[in-house]
A and B are shown apart, each in its own frame.
Chain A
């Protein structure tokens, strides 16, 4: 297990205890991340709204969290405005970046930079200002280091980073673009995986204190849509192996990576000919950002932007069934901002 889950676990414990002890001491009790990496914990724990998850909580300590969940919406949707403003409003509604990123954290932001073919207007790659805003917000929350990376399948990383416009915005925000080095993909066990049990995953994504997942919402002929869970495919080496039983395997992968925050970029969405795009007629400008610590909920909500139901996406169904998050949008607290 990566230290992040340990840290999340500690935070929920402390928060729960704090609530029990009393409101005034709540903020004082929120622990700072320990300076030394926590030892791996034997079982992974769900990070986001665990109390109402379909599967029973594995730890009694988590029973204290309902009170925490009351504080924050499950999901925030910001509509109308400039990309950076949308991101700030959505994350603010979730409690601010400080809820996810703590001083001294090593943060990895994973946008979708799948090909080097087109500029951002074609909606094949994540909006560069959305990524730039997240980098800035992480630093504002005290992050020590913020890296942005993807593993493009068409064209070289350096070309894809440049053409997408993301490299410029990330550097302007003080972040680093990292080309994913082959020697850092490491065979990793996926203990909760139902189908995918082992996979070569980019080591740094597992070791980072915080992973922020920033997909762009777009069409994909097998998955139907590529959203948060599909975006995590950019962190593994052997992507073709995922295609058999894609929905379950994406959920399995998500169970291992567990991004702290998923921000779905729907400033522009690609409605056909994805994931590569290239035709402006397939692009719709929605000026929308969806943010949630629950990757399943974020994907479930994003599906509705395309007129689909959450259950139309295999990976959303698989993720909800595994208890990675919730797809029952009607029961979630959704903040529209």
Chain B
């Protein structure tokens, strides 16, 4: 081996290694998300990325007052931060990688933002934890992993499925292509896409939120990671005592190359090109750019110096105050007394609002699209918590995937038999619109579909005179209250146009 060549190979390869790890982590993250659908990867593997997230694990523990053994994985990420600072952000975070892909203005065109803005992310995670202490988890929607899971699960992946289906349909018009389309379809379904794709509400909203975060890159590279990301803030604080950190040696000629390439803008020309480990993602771009090999990453056991934007007592108090006020406002919201939402099996009894980290894995796992992220129907506090929308999908009697995949047991991990007995709500028939009740025409679809072995919908025979004066014998459905589990398949399949003539409502409590 030619030793003289080593340094030249070594430097770019470290950077390439980081990029390879980033792409690999993003690919693994998305693959696990795709496989999180029922019948894919084992649930404890599918929810592994979420369980690595210390911000959601910590806020869940505070809000639910429970320590879950499964959440101990998040300690790994904290340990990583203690060793390598915010390497999570630079090497592993799927949102960080997406932000690296999105173009940013060249260094010369970049505006300088006040360093104090960096405090915003600290304020955010402190507020999240303070609110969690008060039993509220609404702001966890800003966690980067939940953002990406929600956006891919309920917007981008279904949209991709639509594109693929449209392409398949177009190609299938040519008989010559039939074998190819069939082979492709067998490959894709059900492994990658569902055979019958669920629909989601407001997918463009989720896509827009992600697009906005990516668009902030137009102001500065990784704008989100520098100023806003609450997980980045939490990891940044830990990184203050991180072991491996960037150091500039005496070989530095103050050329400024490192400051120009730093994606988080933490290399400070006014401080001898030093950086803050709470902001450095160990991306190694500066090391690559340095013409004099003056940048090292040695282990330093002493804490990093305090920065002006570090969270202080005042930040913590402000966060606590804002959290308390916010939670009080939520408590004065009408939804705090009686929520009209139908929750996934077992979740209502489990006080889902104080446990759910809004990651949307259950939305992704649900094979029928029954579980949707809540919009405002349960108030802002419940935003993006899972809710059942029977007109879009039903709770499949053969499925208990949501409780299995939930990383924090907000939806309890019920066995299939237990889940079949879990009551989500109750169906009510609108006799003014139900076909045999209102129109004296036969229809038994709800009874036919009811999966309860004894049938929670029974048919009563009635002989009536219809609008045309004809005597007809009809079967009319009735709901047997104590048998109905509220799965919603009756509402989903009801052939009446618009709102169904049989609808499920959440049980009180």
Contact surface of A with B, Cβ cutoff 8 Å: 115-117, 153-160, 163, 178-184, 220-222, 240, 243-244, 246, 273, 275-279
Q: Verify A183–B168 contact, CB threshold 8 A.
A: yes
Distance of A182 Cα from B39 Cα, bound (Å):
20
Distance in Å: Cβ of A178 to nearest Cβ of chain B:
8
Contact surface of B with A, Cβ cutoff 8 Å: 38-39, 165, 168-169, 172, 181-182, 185-186, 189-190, 194-196, 367-368, 394, 396-399, 441-445, 447-455, 459, 475, 489, 493, 495
Q: Verify B39–A158 contact, CB threshold 8 A.
A: yes
Q: Verify A240–B493 contact, CB threshold 8 A.
A: yes
Report chain B residues within 8 Å CB of A182: 165, 195-196
Q: Verify B489–A159 contact, CB threshold 8 A.
A: no
Distance in Å: Cβ of B484 to nearest Cβ of chain A:
14
21 A-B pairs with CB atoms under 8 Å apart are: A117-B398, A117-B451, A154-B397, A154-B451, A156-B38, A156-B194, A156-B367, A157-B195, A158-B195, A179-B195, A181-B168, A181-B189, A183-B169, A221-B444, A221-B448, A273-B454, A276-B448, A276-B449, A276-B451, A278-B451, A278-B452
Report chain B residues within 8 Å CB of A178: 186
Q: Verify B399–A155 contact, CB threshold 8 A.
A: yes
Distance of A332 Cα from B96 Cα, bound (Å):
75
Distance of A140 Cα from B169 Cα, bound (Å):
35
Distance in Å: Cβ of B181 to nearest Cβ of chain A:
8
Contacts A179-B195, A181-B189: A276 and B444 contacting too (C-beta < 8 A)?
A: no
Contacts A159-B38, A243-B442: A153 and B449 contacting too (C-beta < 8 A)?
A: yes
Q: Verify B442–A222 contact, CB threshold 8 A.
A: yes
Q: Count A/B pairs, Cβ under 8 Å.
A: 103
Distance in Å: Cβ of B429 to nearest Cβ of chain A:
16
Distance in Å: Cβ of B441 to nearest Cβ of chain A:
7
Distance of A277 Cα from B453 Cα, bound (Å):
5
Report chain B residues within 8 Å CB of A220: 448
Known: A154-B489, A279-B454. 9 other contacts (CB 8 A): A153-B449, A155-B398, A156-B39, A160-B398, A163-B398, A222-B442, A222-B444, A243-B495, A244-B443
Contact residue among B190, B448, B450, B489 (Cβ-Cβ distance under 8 Å from A179)? B190
Q: Verify A221–B495 contact, CB threshold 8 A.
A: no
Distance of A277 Cα from B185 Cα, bound (Å):
32
Distance of A179 Cα from B188 Cα, bound (Å):
11
Q: Verify B398–A115 contact, CB threshold 8 A.
A: yes
Q: Verify B442–A279 contact, CB threshold 8 A.
A: no
Contact residue among B181, B185, B397, B493 (Cβ-Cβ distance under 8 Å from A155)? B397
Distance of A278 Cα from B399 Cα, bound (Å):
15
Distance of A222 Cα from B447 Cα, bound (Å):
10
Report chain B residues within 8 Å CB of A163: 398
Report chain A residues within 8 Å CB of B450: 276
Report chain A residues within 8 Å CB of B449: 153-154, 276
Report chain A residues within 8 Å CB of B455: 273
Contact residue among A159, A180, A222, A278 (Cβ-Cβ distance under 8 Å from B475)? A222
Report chain A residues within 8 Å CB of B186: 178
Q: Verify A181–B185 contact, CB threshold 8 A.
A: yes
Report chain B residues within 8 Å CB of A222: 442, 444, 448, 475
Q: Verify A240–B445 contact, CB threshold 8 A.
A: yes
Report chain A residues within 8 Å CB of B39: 156, 158-159
Q: Verify A243–B443 contact, CB threshold 8 A.
A: yes
Distance in Å: Cβ of B202 to nearest Cβ of chain A:
23
Residue of A nearest to B167 (CB): A183
Q: Verify A155–B367 contact, CB threshold 8 A.
A: yes
Distance in Å: Cβ of A191 to nearest Cβ of chain B:
23
Report chain A residues within 8 Å CB of B394: 154
Distance of A277 Cα from B447 Cα, bound (Å):
12
Distance in Å: Cβ of B103 to nearest Cβ of chain A:
37
Report chain B residues within 8 Å CB of A279: 453-454
Shortest beta-carbon contacts, A-B, top 7: A278-B453, A240-B495, A279-B453, A116-B398, A183-B169, A179-B195, A222-B444
Report chain A residues within 8 Å CB of B165: 182-183
Contact residue among A117, A180, A181, A240 (Cβ-Cβ distance under 8 Å from B397)? A117
Report chain A residues within 8 Å CB of B459: 221
Q: Verify B448–A275 contact, CB threshold 8 A.
A: yes
Residue of A nearest to B397 (CB): A117
Distance in Å: Cβ of A140 to nearest Cβ of chain B:
25
Residue of A nearest to B453 (CB): A278
Distance of A271 Cα from B194 Cα, bound (Å):
33
Distance of A183 Cα from B164 Cα, bound (Å):
11
Distance in Å: Cβ of A3 to nearest Cβ of chain B:
14
Report chain A residues within 8 Å CB of B194: 156
Distance of A83 Cα from B33 Cα, bound (Å):
42
